[in-house]
C-alpha cells in the first residue's frame, strides 16, 4: 500500500496558540488551560451562527496579539468549521486582510489544516500560517439534529458539540522547540454505521486505519509517544478503537486518550459520550496539550483528529456514515 506519511524536511515550529472556550467547556476539567472563557455563548449576536463567527474572529485576533504580529505578517489562514459552505470561516476571514483557504473534513478539519499549513511552510512557499477551527453547540445542533428547544431526549451514544475555537500559529523559522515532524493523511473509511447519533462507532475505524498506516510507514510503536490523542471519539468510540486495534496487534494503553473525553466532566455535565465538533480537538490541543508540551510533561505526541463526514441529506437517503482521521506527530526537539 502507498506510503501516506509525510516527513517534514525541516520540522515546523508551533509558535503560539490561542483558544476561546464556551461557558460549558469553561466549567469543565480543562478550565485552567483556556486563554479565554465566555460567560454566555450568544455574545449579544442575533444568531448562533454570528456568535460562532465572533468567537472565531476573536480567537485569531487574540492569537495575533499574543504573538505580537500584524495581519501583514501572516501568509495564509487554513480554517474550517461545521456550518454549511463553511460560512463560519468565510465570514470570519472577511474581517482579516489575510489569504484564506477554507477546509472541510468535519471534525478532522484541524488535522487537515495543520498538515496543509505545515506542508506549505516546508515547501518554502510561506513563512507563517494560522491553522484554526471553531464550532458552536447551538449552530451544530440545529444543522445536524433538532431545534434546541424541542423536548427530545439525547440518546446514550450521542455527543456534545463543543462551543469554542482554537488557533495554532505555525512558523518556518526555528522559534519554538515544539515542532510538527510528521503527518499521516487519512482516507475515507466507511464500516457501514448509519446511526447519526453514534459518531464514535463511525469514526473509530477511520482512526484505526490512520494509526495503522502511521505506525507502518514510520516503523514507530504506540509507546514511542507520550500521548496519543484522538479528536472526538468520545468514551464509547475510544473503547471501540482500543478493542479494534488490539485485533491488529497494536495496543493503545495508558498513553491513549481522546480530546472529547478530556473536554467535559462526564458525570456532572450530562454530555453522554463526551465532546465532539471541529472545535473539540483544536480547543483541547491549543490549550491543554500545548501547555503540557511547553511544561515538558509530554515530549512526543500524536494528535489524531477524527471526523464523521455525515450530512443530513445523505443520512435520510439511506447512506451510511463515512469518516476520516488525520495524524499529526508533534515533538519537542
| Residue ranges in contact with other proteins by CB under 8 A | 46-47, 49, 142, 146-157, 187-193, 198, 201, 205, 209, 236, 239-240, 243, 322
Whichever of 117 and 234 has its CB closer to other proteins, that residue is: 234
**Main-chain phi, psi angles of 64, to 5 degrees:** -60, -40
Tell me how far CA of residue 113 lies from CA of 4, 154, 282, in angstroms. 16, 31, 10
Whichever of 18 and 204 has its CB closer to other proteins, that residue is: 204
Q: For the CB of residue 145, give the shortest distance to other proteins in the complex, in Å.
A: 11
* Complete DSSP assignment for 86-133: GHHHHHHHTT--SEEEE--BTBTHHHHHHHHHHHHHHTTS-SEEEEEE
Q: For the CB of residue 286, give the shortest distance to other proteins in the complex, in Å.
A: 29
Whichever of 265 and 291 has its CB closer to other proteins, that residue is: 265
Q: For the CB of residue 154, give the shortest distance to other proteins in the complex, in Å.
A: 7
Taking residue 8's Cβ as centre, other Cβ atoms within 10 Å add up to: 18
Q: For the CB of residue 229, give the shortest distance to other proteins in the complex, in Å.
A: 21
Taking residue 286's Cβ as centre, other Cβ atoms within 10 Å add up to: 31
Q: How far apart are CA 258 and CA 168, in angstroms?
A: 19
Whichever of 44 and 151 has its CB closer to other proteins, that residue is: 151
Whichever of 240 and 328 has its CB closer to other proteins, that residue is: 240
Cβ burial of 270 (10 Å; 0-12, 13-18, 19+) is: exposed
Q: For the CB of residue 44, give the shortest distance to other proteins in the complex, in Å.
A: 14
Q: Are strands 99-102 and 160-161 parallel, antiparallel or unpaired?
A: unpaired
Amino acid at each position: 500500500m502507498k506510503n501516506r506519511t509525510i516527513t517534514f524536511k525541516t520540522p515546523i515550529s508551533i509558535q503560539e496558540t490561542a483558544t476561546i472556550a464556551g461557558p460549558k467547556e469553561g466549567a469543565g476539567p480543562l478550565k485552567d488551560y483556556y486563554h479565554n472563557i465566555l460567560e454566555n455563548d450568544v455574545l449579544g449576536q442575533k444568531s448562533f451562527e454570528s456568535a460562532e463567527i465572533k468567537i472565531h474572529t476573536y480567537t485569531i485576533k487574540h492569537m495575533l496579539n499574543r504573538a505580537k504580529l500584524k495581519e501583514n505578517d501572516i501568509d495564509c489562514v487554513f480554517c474550517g468549521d461545521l456550518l454549511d459552505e463553511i460560512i463560519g470561516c468565510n465570514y470570519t476571514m472577511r474581517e482579516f486582510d489575510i489569504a484564506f483557504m477554507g477546509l472541510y473534513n468535519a471534525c478532522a478539519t484541524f488535522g487537515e489544516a495543520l498538515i496543509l499549513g505545515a506542508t506549505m511552510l516546508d515547501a518554502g512557499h510561506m513563512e507563517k500560517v494560522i491553522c484554526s477551527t471553531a464550532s458552536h453547540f447551538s449552530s451544530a445542533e440545529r444543522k445536524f439534529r433538532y431545534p434546541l428547544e424541542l423536548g427530545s431526549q439525547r440518546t446514550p451514544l450521542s455527543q456534545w458539540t463543543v462551543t469554542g475555537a482554537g488557533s495554532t500559529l505555525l512558523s518556518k523559522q526555528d522559534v519554538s522547540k515544539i515542532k510538527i515532524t510528521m503527518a499521516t493523511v487519512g482516507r475515507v473509511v466507511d464500516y457501514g454505521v448509519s446511526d447519526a447519533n453514534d459518531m464514535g462507532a463511525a469514526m473509530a475505524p477511520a482512526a484505526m486505519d490512520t494509526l495503522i498506516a502511521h505506525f507502518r510507514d514510520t516503523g514507530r510503536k504506540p509507546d514511542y509517544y507520550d500521548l496519543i490523542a484522538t479528536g472526538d471519539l468520545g468514551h464509547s468510540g475510544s473503547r471501540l478503537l482500543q478493542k479494534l486495534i488490539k485485533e491488529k496487534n497494536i495496543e493503545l494503553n495508558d498513553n491513549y486518550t481522546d480530546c472529547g473525553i478530556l473536554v467535559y466532566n462526564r458525570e456532572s455535565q450530562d454530555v453522554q459520550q463526551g465532546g465532539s465538533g471541529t472545535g473539540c480537538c483544536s480547543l483541547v490541543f491549543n490549550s491543554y496539550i500545548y501547555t503540557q508540551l511547553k511544561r515538558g510533561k509530554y515530549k512526543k505526541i500524536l494528535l489524531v483528529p477524527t471526523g464523521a463526514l455525515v450530512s443530513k441529506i445523505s443520512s435520510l437517503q439511506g447512506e451510511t456514515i463515512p469518516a476520516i482521521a488525520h495524524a499529526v506527530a508533534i515533538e519537542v526537539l
